[in-house]
């Protein structure tokens, strides 16, 4: 056994050594897709077009989810298209929730009031109101007395 070990070692040492070729390390590349930053105008045009073509409530709600997921407040034209789309597919609750989404996205009460004022004609035309006004209208119909606190609830944020 010992002789076999010695002969193996001697044979291995008698072989000529070949210089091992060192290959340069493989450069790693990042695999990602890069696209140009979307401008606010193209964002607005894309979502107005999307809501104008939405055919069912699933598409409208999916579009709202995607639109409000961005780190910006949608333009009034996008909000108008979304409200019209939700009323077109006969979903009053989603139309009201669009205003709730705007209320959450804006920075202060003044900005929300500007949206509500700008979309006043649309709200009157389609019969959609912000949820705060809807709840106060229910109180008015139930009690018959309108209090200032009911019409203008404290800003929740």
Domain membership of residue 28 (yes or no) is no
pTM of the complete model: 0.63
Cβ–Cβ under 8 Å, residues 131 and 99 = yes
Per-residue model confidence as pLDDT tens digits over 84-119? 999 999 988 898 889 889 988 999 989 988 998 898
Domain membership of residue 137 (yes or no) is no
Domain that holds residue 77: 40-128
Structurally, the chain folds into a number of domains equal to 1
The rounded distance, in Å, linking the Cα atoms of 112 and 12 is 84
Q: How many residues does the chain have?
A: 157
Domain membership of residue 51 (yes or no) is yes
Q: What is the CATH number of the domain that holds 45?
A: 1.25.40.40
Q: Is the pLDDT of residue 56 over 80?
A: yes
Domain membership of residue 87 (yes or no) is yes
Our CA dihedral for 111, 76, 117, 154, rounded to 10 degrees, sits at -40
Q: What is the SS3 assignment for 156?
A: coil
Q: Is the pLDDT of residue 137 over 60?
A: no
> What's the token pair of residue 121?
């004609």
Predicted pLDDT at 62: 97
Q: Is the pLDDT of residue 5 over 80?
A: no
Written as one string, the DSSP assignment of 131-143 is HHHHHHHHHHHHH
Domain membership of residue 112 (yes or no) is yes
For 73, left (φ over 0), alpha (ψ -120 to 50), or beta? beta
Domain membership of residue 105 (yes or no) is yes
HSE, CB side, 13 Å, CA atoms: give it for residue 54.
28
Written as one string, the DSSP assignment of 28-84 is P-------PPPPHHHHHHHHHHHHHH--SHHHHHHHHHHHHHSSSPPPHHHHHHHHH
């Amino acid at each position: 056994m010992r002789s076999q070990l010695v002969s193996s070692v001697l044979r291995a040492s008698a072989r000529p050594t070949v210089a091992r070729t060192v290959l340069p390390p493989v450069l790693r590349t990042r695999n990602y897709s890069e696209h140009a930053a979307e401008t606010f105008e193209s964002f607005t045009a894309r979502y107005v077009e999307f809501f104008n073509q939405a055919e069912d409530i699933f598409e409208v709600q999916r579009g709202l989810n995607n639109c409000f997921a961005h780190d910006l407040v949608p333009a009034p034209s996008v909000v108008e298209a979304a409200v019209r789309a939700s009323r077109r597919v006969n979903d009053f609750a989603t139309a009201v929730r669009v205003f709730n989404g705007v209320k959450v996205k804006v920075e202060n009460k003044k900005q929300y009031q500007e949206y509500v004022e700008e979309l006043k004609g649309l709200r009157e035309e389609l019969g959609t109101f912000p949820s705060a006004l809807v709840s106060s209208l229910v109180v008015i119909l139930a009690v018959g007395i309108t209090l200032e606190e009911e019409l203008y609830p404290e800003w929740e944020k």
